[in-house]
A and B are shown apart, each in its own frame.
Chain A
Amino acid sequence: MTRVDPGYFLALAGLMFSIGVVGTLVRRNAIVIFMFVELMLNAVNLAFITFARMHGELDGQVLVFFVLVVAAAEAVVGLAIILRIYRLRESANVDDVNLLKW
């Protein structure tokens, strides 16, 4: 069985995280922005698992469960908030939500 260098996994995690950051900043739909945030969280999970593998221990894999649970709780609240805005505004575009500024 060939072993893959952990560096590749870290590079992939870094790439996913960067795509998530850029996506969050450029997209305008609240749901899509939230999806990019989830992508960032998954990049973190991959990083945790890779580091756990490099250190040869399980701690990092356990941390992933914490991230998953919190991400799920966050999704529940976040989607409810976005849904509420949609009911009031008929739009999930963050540029349409502009009552508060400066």
Chain B
Amino acid sequence: MEFEAPAVQLGAIGPEIALVTTALLLLIVDAFIPEGEERWYLAVLATIGFGVAIILAANQWGERELQLARMVAVDNFATFVKTSVAVFAVLTVWLSRDYLKRSEDEESEFYALLLFAAAGMMLMASAADLIMVFLALEIFSISLYVLVGFRRRSLASQESAMKYFLLGAFSSAFFLMGIALVYGATGTTNFYPGGGGEGIAGYLVSSAASDVDLLVLGVGLLIVGLGFKIAAVPFHMWTPDAYQGAPSPITGFMAAGTKFAAVATMLRLFVVVLYPLRADWRPILIAVAIATMLLGSVLAVIQEDVKRLLAYSSIAHAGFVLTGLIAANDRGLSGSLFYLATYGLTVLGAFAVVTVLAGRKERNVTLASYRGLFYERPLLAGALTLFMLSLAGVPLTSGFVGKFLVFGAAIQAGYWWLAVIGMLASVIATFFYLRVLVVMYMQEDDRGLQPAITGRLANSVVGLTAAATLVLGIVWGPLIDLAERATVFFA
């Protein structure tokens, strides 16, 4: 029998390969460093890995094809997400460098797990097969389970890791059952037609698609699995606990990266592949989005812990970005991309400020400990002010432009009432963002809160994200332009 070797185009997953290789290198290099030696070049190595990944991803801009046995889509959309995730991860590495310094924790393992997680998120953005989505999802989830529990002596960290893990595994099972049902209904797990199969997209336009009950049930279970990852109500239970117990830099990365990767998959799956089925998935997602926006905003109001407050805020933001997805038009797609890219930078910055103040021991994370911060550290307080205003969606910040785009897309699609509910939730949310500002500026404290981390790298992360938040709020054109060109899918 003649054996024909399949064409393996490893270039399609070049960025992911770069990250995984760097991660393995880190673990080997670390083994050769003597005990107690300064390990700054581990962070440099990780940064180089991400740099190579960004270059490789940027090189794929403009391509439009399916590769690796039709498992991986190489398109502008994937490139946009991959580059953003790599930028988030680099900032996290720099922040973690000062966070981990002089601690007994293993730096190399921390960076390696971060690299693996970022590789999973990148793969998620270009996955063109449900089983590929599942693999990518598990690659970054399993890495994050470990990272959340990285503070080994802290019971809170261990507790959050266990909650995140048990609920994560639970939701993965739902996601898998969804894949099984979709496979049962359509006979394929591939997204796009071609290569001898019709794919899910092809099945939906073919005549066989008259009976879609099983497929809709499967899609519902997929929403459960993905909704868990983006922290949408009612699958949000783990979010506050995991965010509070995790090391602060990782919390920022989870809020920025996980959300982007999971929403990216949802955009590809629902807006592109399952578009003919929108009458079935739209009502589910609308209910989820409304509950997410309102519950996230309302519950954040009563939080006393800053990390928990930001966790509920990230739940609310998942709801806002879902309105762009529900609109399911071009503006919704590019708006969601812009929203997630800018939200990621802002939330990373907010958690960078929290990290700088909290340090390794994760002290001073209550709202009360931020009293009078402005008089102690005006620059840090100023940066946090900017992040809070951006999260609230005040004009001249990137958060305003993002909200404007997704709500505008919802109105264009005829869902003006959804946009109204979103604005209402934003108003509620403004209350607790302003509360942070009131605590920082209007209340005095003679305790004199001092930053636990004084490293230059951590401060530069705060500065860079603050600059990005401000600049993208004033000069939004180029990024929107990129996001619009990123809506070119393989389809």
Contacts and interface: CB of A to CB of B under 8 A. Distances in A.
Q: Is the interface of B mostly helix, strand, loop or mixed?
A: helix
11 contacts: A30-B162, A40-B173, A40-B177, A47-B181, A47-B184, A59-B183, A63-B179, A66-B134, A84-B158, A100-B244, A102-B240
A10 B217 CA distance: 14
Contacts of A88: 155, 158
Contact of A48 (B156, B174, B183, B240): B183
A73 interface: yes
A99 interface: yes
B160 interface: yes
Contact of B176 (A24, A44, A77, A89): A44
A17 B320 CA distance: 32
Contacts of A41: 173, 176
A78 B145 contact: yes
Given A47-B180, A63-B131, A84 B169 contact: no
B142 interface: yes
A36 B135 CA distance: 21
A63 B183 contact: yes
Interface string B233-254: 0000000110011000000000
B200 to A, nearest CB: 13
B245 A100 contact: yes
Nearest to A13: B180
B158 A81 contact: yes
B372 interface: no
Interface in B149-190: 149, 152, 155-156, 158-163, 165-166, 169-170, 172-174, 176-177, 179-181, 183-184, 187-189
Interface residues of B, number: 40
A66 to B, nearest CB: 5
Given A40-B173, A41-B176, A70-B135, A100 B162 contact: no
Contacts, number: 114
Interface in A76-99: 77-78, 81-82, 84-85, 88-89, 94, 97-99
Given A17-B177, A37-B166, A88-B155, A81 B161 contact: yes
A54 interface: yes
A24 B159 contact: no
Can you list the 6 inter-chain pairs with the closest CB atoms, starting with the nearest?
A: A40-B173, A51-B184, A47-B180, A100-B241, A44-B176, A37-B169
Contacts of B302: 102
B169 A99 contact: no
A85 B158 contact: yes
A44 B182 CA distance: 12
A72 B181 CA distance: 22
B146 interface: yes
B162 A20 contact: no
Given A17-B177, A89-B155, A84 B149 contact: yes
